[in-house]
Structure 1
Amino acid sequence: MALIDTFKDRFGRFVYPKTVPKAIIDPDTGESLDKFFDREFYEKIGDPSFLETIDKSTLVSAINELKTKDDLHLAETMQQSGGVHGLEIERGSWSAELSTTNGDGVADYGSYERFGTYVRIGDLVYITFRMNVESFTNCTGYYIITGLPFYSSGSDRYRYIVAPSNLDGATDYASIRGTDIRVRSSPQAIAQAVPFTSTKYIHGSGVYHIG
């Protein structure tokens, strides 16, 4: 407290710690403590001659590196190639195919295009798909939709939400195993594959985890 006790304000009163920066340390000039630091510290840090050459180059390199990282990771836009803040962003397409758990079933797509898109952000993948199937015959087992763009171990498969529409017995529940979507008739059961000969428009979307 001895240092603080030596500080007086412009009226000659002793100051308390919270007012120390405003304390007058030079009665002749009226200079306060914060002004003293501005002059003795901040100005010297801003003066390149205050630093050794190696220190200057290191400081400049560090500043430039920070600027570069900041420029490439603007969270406001999320448009940088390679992602933002370490999250890699990848976009692409994939082709869904109707099959069964027994690997059989003959799907006729006619002239219709099978099309799917994906957006991968880190280990999460958002998918969409559509396929118009004119017929599906000689099928046994359970429905699956194959061709997912990224493999999943299936450890969290019951947490996924993938909603394939217009398949008999299908619900909004689905599970992921490997690169297959397993269409479910309920959270506990896979949907039985049923042959059909009239066109079904099978569309869907969802999110799953790679791992």
Structure 2
Amino acid sequence: MGTLCGYILCFIYTLCWVICITADEIFESDLGEDMKIGLADGGYKSVKLKCGSNSMHIKLETDEDFDGVIYTRGSFHDKDSACYLDADSIREKRSFNMSFDLDKCQTKQEGKVYTNVLVLQHDKELIMPGDAAFTLECDFEKPREVTLQANLNSRESTKVISRISLTDADPGKKSKRPKRSLASPTEVEITPKSARTLSKEEL
């Protein structure tokens, strides 16, 4: 009787192990096909960036009430108030503002160009398809070739260029630096329409 029970338990353990392995493979397959984050073509109304002499100022508007989180990439776990915003703590559900110094919030510096990534995440814990991310740049060097939103006849006297482009919200995916972006010597704005135009120009 004891041997029979041992065989039965062994069979049950083996069956459970096979089921778990199969479930993991199916889950990974599903993630690979259906959970690609990619570039978001909606979920927001506009994102505006204004670069100051030592800071980034961001205004983000959504087309519907938003109850997720907004943060700079790398600041999710720290939840620093300057770099992380929980929509539940804001009365206005469609308009959000963030400001931080260029040496804060995981901002990266390369020469005289300061870069950050802003993430609009609808779920408070997980990045999902439909979430959006934006590369933000404050460029104190001579402006590169860009799609301009303002007349840059006086660009030689401009001290800083505000530049913004759409990027992949997935933190595990290495996004190439976009060839083109929207830029202005004052405040620059990206919308789903202008982002789609840029994406077509990248092809």
TM-score past 0.5 threshold: no
Larger Rg: 1
TM-score relative to the length of structure 2: 0.30
Higher relative contact order by CA 8 Å / sep ≥ 6: 1 or 2?
2
